[in-house]
Structure 1
Amino acid sequence: MQARPLHGTPPARGGAVILLLASLTAITPLATDMLLPAFPDMGRDLHAADSSIQLSLTAYLLGMLVGQLLIGPVSDSTGRRRLLMWGSALFAVFSVLCAVATSTELLNAARVLEGVSGSAGMVLARAVVGDWYRGQEAAKRFSILSVIFAVAPIIAPVLGGLITNVFSWRALFVVLAALSVVLLIAVAAALPESLPPERRHSGGVATAFRSMRGLLAERPFLGYVLVFSFANVALFSYISGSSFVFQDVYKLSATKYSLSFAVTAVGILIGGAMVGNLAAKAGLNRLLTIGVTVGLVASAGHAIVAVTAGNTLTTSLVFMFLCMFAMGLTIPSIMTIGQEIGRRAGGAASGVIGAGQCLFGGIAAPVVGALGTGSDKPMAALMVIGFGCAFLCLVLIARPWQRHGENTVLGGQAPQSAATVH
């Protein structure tokens, strides 16, 4: 089935534009995962406890939460391109402020602002894909976003480890600022506006936020948002806790930790690629159900071994690979389903989905450190809780057997959204 764009025609060089959108999405895993090998050094340099350094991840996610809730709905009224350019420019500025921070308080304040500006790339990339594509074509593009989203965590810790082996952790933020400047130039030169004036919401920002409230009133949409949010409790528990588990418990160097993290992150890449290839045949809700189930089983297995025989580096890698594979199935499936349900308010839908991810992930990140970094048990417990709650929300609220949001993926007509704003 060919895509039927919501309006107009996507750019002739659609592949290059999708890669640009994916690169904008990748800023967040770069801004989080690239710092993981440097967490111990940051703590020593700033004379801070492990939990305080992990709070820098929460600070960034808090900024992402606020930014997506603001930028997503506003873009439904103002368009996407200009906000993307402002977001990239400000991200560079706030990354430089992070680089010169002399205390955790200053660092975390700058990280909040960095997260607000960095949220533009993530929330608007999803909205742009939703503007241009429907059905199977949308699923393919969202799978590309998720695959690039997977490549970034693979590269980021390795890159971060290499940089911190030569330079201070402060150089990591300089690199982030430089990358954002490159993306700003690319957006200005190559990305057209995907939401023309005739498709924007009238009534200004207030109307845009009412559309977000309308989306949350829809049980299926709320269910998928909760599934994604709780799944990200597991994801960010791993992201936040893995650096201490692999380096302090398993005694790996920063470089070896980065490589180990990269091995598990390949699971996201494989899962995302499967969604792009199998969405029409298997159905997005079925792939999502498989993903959440695999994540629950793998995280439970990891936790059981942790409290009985004790995990080794090998068993941890196997279980975490399966958990990341589960996230690879989950991320693009929910992106596609959520944007389809909320297609009439694409920025608002993208903002709500991303905000839930940041809120729940941001809560999980410091909890791992607060519960202790001397073993893998806190990380294992939180991952089970995350996948377990995601499974319950999937079955009790989202109800995947009703196949919400995938009618157009399989060739049918999509239902009207209650969040439609005229």
Structure 2
Amino acid sequence: MNASLDSATSRTGTRRLVLALGGLSAASPFATDMYAPGFPQILVSFGTSGTAVQLSLTACLVGLAIGQIVLGPLSDAMGRRRLLLIGSILFTALSLVCALAPSIAVFNLARLLQGIAGSAGLVIGRAVISDRFTGARAARQLSALSVIAMTAPVLAPVLGGLILGVGSWRLVFLALAASGLLLSIAVWAWIPESLPAEQRRAGGLRAVVVAMGGLLRRRELIGYLLVTGCGLAALFAYISGSPFVFQTVHGLSPAGYGFVFATNAVGTVAAGALFGRLAGRARLNALLVIGVAVMTGSAIVLVGLLAVGAGTFTVTWVCLFGVTFGFGIVLPAATTIVLAVGSDAPGAASGLLGGAQFVLGAVAAPLPGLLGSTTAMSMAAVVLIFAVLSALALVALARPWEDHGEPAARR
């Protein structure tokens, strides 16, 4: 009876842990995208330019990249729980600063710092999973976090639009502050320290830098980082280019485009859920190869059909669905393998993973419109380039046939 009770208590604790980590993983995507429908209001409110308002988004993304690179390895030395608490509390405070900002300069600075604070949930959350779980269980929990992280950008603009229907853009940041407060309470109540003091990396900041340098000397780890980073870059090229392709080229209304985007996002979520079910039965590297193949193959078909003038609305939609579905498998598979390969310094490995994703994503996002206007071919070409780079990194550096990051029983 006691054993059964202990088991039930353990399952409840795991569910609460994953729920809290999922909320932390969603906080940054919500902070990035939730206020986007309010851009015109912000422009008028501050009497500034559209470029200055868009810079607030860039500032947040830069903060997310910097924060993950720094906080991930730092958590290997300081522990997870303290940094998660500090990050969630600062996220709450900086959301309030954004809501009350008197000028665009203060707003953009707060957005940069908000991105850094929010990155703690993303990067340290993955490290907590790596501390607590191994093998197929780790893959399933990381898949759950990936599904939540990929769903959040779809829901965020919708929720932001609903809030803007009853108040100003400042109310969006008050809502983010409220969510940050709830997450701070969840971290305090449901996330215990997962890295005991005796397992932490001694030596302060120098040891952190050494740990990250050691990881970067591993060919296979660099390969897997590039696989997921280039995959996310392909996705960012699709996200930044698709509004122009579907609304300007194919004549969809904003609501119609929203339906197309949501459908493709559902494909990503479904792929992540499928990965979670297959992770305990199939090799992680085999699933990763399948994801990269689906993503790259869909991009090749799209570019080929556009080149011969057969790029209809339906063809474009279906091929891009294939790209997003493939990425939905690539993300959790590569994440699980990277954390397994870098298991001696999971915080540093998680930081490198997040940094690679956001840096390459930020590079790819403006490329579809680099020549002055975004067309279906310019978007598809950029998606294909990064998908092919992901495939090349998989074959040349990661070498999935060597079974890196697989549970010992499958090697």
- TM-score by structure 2 length? 0.88
Distance change (3 Å), C-alpha of 1:39 and 1:294: farther
**1:57 equivalent in structure 2:** 57
**8 Å contact 2:283–2:410 — kept in the other structure?**
no
How far does the alpha carbon of each residue in 1:19-49 deviate from its partner, in whole angstroms, 9 at most, with x for none? 1111111122222333454556666776545
User: What is the SS of the residue equivalent to 2:345?
Assistant: helix
**2:287 equivalent in structure 1:** 287
Amino acid at match of 1:114: Q
Shift of 1:245: 4.1
User: What is the SS of the residue equivalent to 1:193?
Assistant: coil
How far does the alpha carbon of each residue in 1:348-392 deviate from its partner, in whole angstroms, 9 at most, with x for none? 010001110111111222334554455344332221121111111
**8 Å contact 2:231–2:327 — kept in the other structure?**
yes
Q: Are 1:78 and 2:78 an aligned pair?
A: yes
Q: Which moved more, 1:11-20 or 1:35-44?
A: 35-44
Amino acid at match of 2:234: A
**8 Å contact 2:368–2:374 — kept in the other structure?**
no
Distance 1:148 1:194 in 2: 21
**8 Å contact 1:248–1:374 — kept in the other structure?**
no
What RMSD over aligned residues (CA atoms) do the two structures have, in Å? 2.7
Distance 1:108 1:10 in 2: 43
Q: Are 1:213 and 2:213 an aligned pair?
A: yes
Amino acid at match of 1:293: A
Shift of 1:399: 0.8
- Structure 1 unmatched ranges of 5 or more: 1-8, 413-422
**1:321 equivalent in structure 2:** 321
**2:163 equivalent in structure 1:** 163
Amino acid at match of 1:359: V
Shift of 1:198: 1.1
- After superposition, residues 136-151 of structure 1 pair within 5 angstroms as 136-151=136-151
Distance 1:26 1:272 in 2: 15
**8 Å contact 1:264–1:320 — kept in the other structure?**
yes
Shift of 1:115: 1.2
Amino acid at match of 1:68: Q
**1:174 equivalent in structure 2:** 174
Shift of 1:244: 4.4
Shift of 1:112: 1.8
Distance 2:150 2:57 in 1: 18
Distance change (3 Å), C-alpha of 1:251 and 1:87: farther
Amino acid at match of 2:366: P
Amino acid at match of 1:110: A
Shift of 1:10: 7.2
Shift of 1:222: 0.7
Distance change (3 Å), C-alpha of 1:184 and 1:311: farther
Distance 1:364 1:310 in 2: 25
Distance change (3 Å), C-alpha of 1:312 and 1:60: farther
Amino acid at match of 1:162: L
Q: Which moved more, 1:67-76 or 1:98-107?
A: 98-107
- Structure 2 unmatched ranges of 5 or more: 1-8
**2:116 equivalent in structure 1:** 116
**8 Å contact 2:241–2:374 — kept in the other structure?**
no
Distance 2:314 2:221 in 1: 38
Distance 2:33 2:77 in 1: 33
Shift of 1:306: 4.4
**1:90 equivalent in structure 2:** 90
How far does the alpha carbon of each residue in 1:95-117 deviate from its partner, in whole angstroms, 9 at most, with x for none? 33334557765544332211111
- After superposition, residues 4-403 of structure 1 pair within 5 angstroms as 13-38=13-38, 48-49=49-50, 54-100=54-100, 106-250=106-250, 252-306=252-306, 308-309=308-309, 311-372=311-372, 375-403=375-403
Distance 1:141 1:232 in 2: 20
User: What is the SS of the residue equivalent to 1:343?
Assistant: coil
Amino acid at match of 2:353: I
Amino acid at match of 2:302: H
**8 Å contact 2:208–2:348 — kept in the other structure?**
yes
Distance 2:44 2:293 in 1: 39
Distance change (3 Å), C-alpha of 1:253 and 1:267: same
Q: Which moved more, 1:216-225 or 1:303-312?
A: 303-312
Q: Which moved more, 1:68-77 or 1:316-325?
A: 316-325
Amino acid at match of 2:341: I
Q: Which moved more, 1:217-226 or 1:31-40?
A: 31-40
Shift of 1:55: 4.4
Distance 1:310 1:54 in 2: 35
**2:4 equivalent in structure 1:** none
Distance 2:310 2:40 in 1: 24
Distance 2:102 2:200 in 1: 44
